[in-house]
Structure 1
């Protein structure tokens, strides 16, 4: 089984982007998640997901 680790730092926890929260997915267990029951899951060019509007059906 592959080992997954989330890379977190204080910089990731501080809100610098006017209400936008970021999750660093460098070693994410969610990278292979099926999107068939997920809506509004967006990823920016840096590989980070925005989760404010993400909902599970």
Structure 2
């Protein structure tokens, strides 16, 4: 019975390890997505700022 309990304990540890690995993978994916979203937002902000600068330059050229 002790050997069976030990094997069940090891199986439980293995299962717990799989859950931790899955959680780590999900966390890494979320971090990657956050970086992607942040980078995308930063790119959009750069485009908007560039467009505003271009409009400002056109206004100055018309004067």
Q: Could you say which TM-score interval applies, normalised by the shorter chain? A: under 0.3
Q: Which has the higher contact order (CA 8 A, sep 6+)?
A: 1
Give the number of the structure whose residues are more often strand, by fraction: 1
Give the number of the structure whose residues are more often helix, by fraction: 2
Larger radius of gyration: 2
- Give me the TM-score of the superposition, normalised by structure 1: 0.18
- Give me the TM-score of the superposition, normalised by structure 2: 0.17
